[in-house]
Structure 1
Amino acid sequence: SSSSSSSSSSSSSKGTTSISILVSGASECRAFVACSVVVTVAYPGVTVAAASDLTLQVTGVSLPSSPAPAHSLAHSTAESLSLTVDLPPLPAGTATLTLTKPATPTAEFASTLTVHSQITTITSLEPSVATSAGGTIVTVTAAFLPKVSSASELSVSLGPSNPFGSVTLLWSDDLSTSFTAVTPAASSTGLSFVSVSPSSPPANATFMVSTQGATAACQSGCRGGASGGWQATVSVDGMGSVAALTTRMFGSAVPSSAVSVADGTLRVTVPSLPGGEASFGEGGEFEAAVEVQNPQGSVTAATVTFVRAPAAASAVFGGSGGKVLVTFSSPTASKGNAVCDGGGLVQGQTALVGAGAVCAWESSEVLTVQLASGATLVPGNSLTIKGGLKTQDGASDASPDQTVSVAAPAVPALPTFTLS
């Protein structure tokens, strides 16, 4: 996966000097997280023997006191110079990376890299259910909320406009902010949300306003795929006989039946996730509330989790060009190896990978396609991964067939020969 960058260029008798930056192991550099990039200079016009022959300067964004940016040399020829640059956690902005060879002959190469802002999310909300009477102390932790120095800078509400009381700041830094707040009284019960700012847009998380004395919790079958149809067992207390209870999800009634009246347990059939796979965020999971109501109008809720099927996140040639590494968005349940065509890959791709090419799972997240004699695959071509993959815990739906474009290696191995 690459990050576009601007660079200066100049012409020589052999070719035009140009600089490219490739982000290692991610689609882009994100703020306040360490990031490694591969800087490649085509036709640099100079060669270096070691990384120490080059100085690295990072400007345009604030640098932490430690660690300092570091670089290591991958290879150097008159036609290509390649280095790995390890960047410390940086704030969002545009960083300029400048490599300088101070010794004769001198040279300087510069290019820019965008450090993208993080998405503010509420990572912890404990508890996520409170009664309509208010007065419950809730602990909230939000990732990448703009750093604050006092509780007065935080705006916390139940729904869009019902403010929490007694906000107490626990900590706030570039990575996370945590605080406690007291729930307000609510005029109605049911599913709502907690909204936290300053951030644009505000960070929101699902919150249930329940009838006082009523509780519910998922006991088993609490994770499943986006297509729904799986069954979750929910324990309920303070709501009367479970035989008389009704359940809702996403604003509509869902089937449920009593498992044990004595134990107060229900079996709920979870519907499909509205929006399907498109509803998942970066984490690959989506929490949803199962609302439980009795004939008297009392309400409470339990939480279930939808899990996204593994998706092919990237495919990159190995340095020597003899294999392709396909990385997935989450650990899969797949193991072992098999002939690629009709095995790890959809049948009919022998011309691309060669007859007898083997697909092997190096880990639960990486499928290696070992190319065979006669392979014609080159960077920019696509491979179609065979469907049927599930997450490591087996909770997700089976993945569909999916096509992924194959990128050039981050650091290609230079051809060598031996003269004897």
Structure 2
Amino acid sequence: MSDQPEGIPHDRGAADGVARITVPLASELIRGALELERTAQGVLPHRLPARARAQCSDGQLAMAEAQPSGVRLVFRTRATTVELDTLPTKTRYVGAPPRPDGVYDLLVDGQLTDQGSATGGNAFIVDMLKGTTESRSGPVGTLRFTGLPDRVKEVEIWLPHNEVTQLVALRADAPVEAVPWEGRRVWLHHGSSISQGSDAASPSTTWPALAASLGGAELVNLGLGGGALLDPFTARALRDTPADLISVKIGINLVNTDLMRLRAFVPAVHGFLDTVREGHPTAPLLVVSPLLCPVHEDTPGPSVPDFGDLGAGRLRFRAEGDPAERAEGKLTLAVVREQLAGLVERRAVDDPHLHYVDGRELYGTADFDELPLPDQLHPDAATHRRVGERFAALAFGPGRPFAAGRTRAS
């Protein structure tokens, strides 16, 4: 490798260390997004393609898929200063203290080296009591990372997993080049808000990001807060996305939205998996059932918010269903796990690359006693780390479905 990356204009940074080279926001620099939308401000990464977005008018899904969980800028440079202009959209809840700004993680050669947050940005105001929303425009913010090692290195900037983010400009004080994907396996994952990273400390420490790092895989994270609902357009997105390894985490959103009854659930899972297999007939495919969530283990949904502590910045959820409604086909997590385990066992007779993981192996009763779910639904940062480490062992460990050497044959 030369001391100076090629491909971007070679004008140098100023002596004061201010980044002077404007780097085009080319798709080759952006990983983890399925589509890049060019806007008046810059580039908006999407985790569902336009065709999928056009088939659903749900505002929650629109917000979740535009929150760039797992999306990162990756490039090689010897720059010591890097600047990123972004236009974030920050969600505010009426009556609650302001939420922390989204975190950007900067990694150098795979090691977390710096973090930052963007000031300014648009605001999305949510009044949960009235059920209303409001959007307000705001200014572009700049993140500045300085003191990077003066050598050729691989730099990653992970975008906030919980904050819609438009990329406006990238600058550096030395030339930048894209880093090819070749040589690393791509892991495509779909799940709920837990997979998106709800309550993780930062974007590179969501459980899928941690598991991908431990497993040496390139993550494409289709974890969608509130959106793991067996939607056919999501299955088609998985089908059409190149990947070596695939996992789908199914269940919690179907229960906590009370969306589906048992009669519809089993055929819907079959249809979802059938669609994924159309594009990836022999890739290792893991079906992962829900983590332990005591409020919904034997009680159907929907989940409803408890606003009692909202003013103190705490929001909790409770299950509004009745356990007796299971007889009418309402879903609980226990029912979901039983059905998924049996379904995968039957399909695996003809699909030896299909595997089942019980989510309680990732987070179970003993874990809940030690690390309870703060809002009764979502894990905290320490639990994300535990789940990521356990998934890496169960999926990427020796002899496991994602073990090194297993790649897509499609």
TM-score computed with the length of structure 1 as normaliser: 0.26
Q: Which of the two has greater helix per residue?
A: 2
Q: Which of the two has greater strand per residue?
A: 1
- Larger CA Rg, structure 1 vs 2: 1
Q: Which of structures 1 and 2 has the larger relative contact order (alpha carbons within 8 angstroms, sep 6+)?
A: 2
